[in-house]
Copies of this chain bind each other. A is one copy, B any other.
Amino acid sequence: MASPIAEPAVVTEPLRLYSYWRSSAAYRVRIGLGLKKLPYETVPVHLIRDGGEQHSEAFREANPQELVPVLQHGARLYRQSMAILEYLDETWPTPPLLPALARDRARARALAQTIACDIHPLNNLRVLQYLEHEWNAPQPERDEWVRHWITKGFTAFEALLDDNPATGEFCEGDAPTIADCCLVPQVYNARRFGVDMERWPTIARIERACLALPAFDAARPERQPDCPEAQRA
């Protein structure tokens, strides 16, 4: 295990994560919480059942965007997975989710955003629902749409990894950063849609290194309390 081993952090106000087992944005935050060894309570928000609990009045008060994750820390609510990861890093700095130097931090953030800004938002549930219900796009076209943006994004991501000596055991150096917190959930998503990951050997290698760490393993969708029994295998 390459990441520094942290003592469990001191958390004076409880942490609650509004999450859905298969949401890749929530998955990122679960990894971050795990790397910091922060104890938290999961509040499942079922994104499908009854039209989606994220659209309920109660949840809209927590997040007018009607999206998970939301992190509650004490009385305060934090939204947007990338902002939450930065908040975790600033509040509990060990182990860091970002490198020390500004230039390296920029690279880790840019890699993370390659996924968080340019792949994931296009393939989000609400977008696929729009394509299905507003445009009547059939399933094969929607799946092709998903694979298109993943393929485009991962091809660039792999080039950015291969082209740079800063790439180590993980995306940036030899400890996991926010880039890895984003990469692993996106690879999970890619597999769900039948994307062949063998095209990107560096991504595949880094995913394996990540999943060998307890924090990444515990954050997997199939380990979540709201994962249906049939999907745990």
Contact = CB atoms under 8 A, between A and B. Distances in A.
Interface of A: 63-67, 76, 78-80, 82-84, 86-87, 90-91, 102-103, 105-107, 109-110, 112-114, 116-118, 120-122, 127, 130, 134-135, 137, 141, 145, 148, 153, 155-156, 159-160, 163
A84 to B, nearest CB: 7
B64 A159 contact: yes
Given A87-B106, A90-B105, A102-B87, A122 B127 contact: yes
B155 A110 contact: no
A153 B145 CA distance: 22
A79 B110 contact: yes
Contacts of A82: 82, 109, 113, 117
Nearest to A144: B134
Contacts of A148: 130, 134
Contacts of A118: 65, 67, 121
Give the number of copies in the complex: 2
8 contacts: A64-B160, A65-B114, A67-B118, A79-B160, A80-B110, A83-B110, A84-B110, A90-B105
A86 B107 CA distance: 11
Contacts of A130: 145, 148
B106 A78 contact: yes
Given A106-B83, A109-B83, A64 B135 contact: no
A64 B156 contact: yes
Nearest to A121: B121
Given A64-B155, A91-B102, A160-B64, A109 B122 contact: no
Contacts of A87: 102-103, 105-106, 109
Nearest to A74: B103
Nearest to A25: B117
Contacts of A79: 110, 114, 160
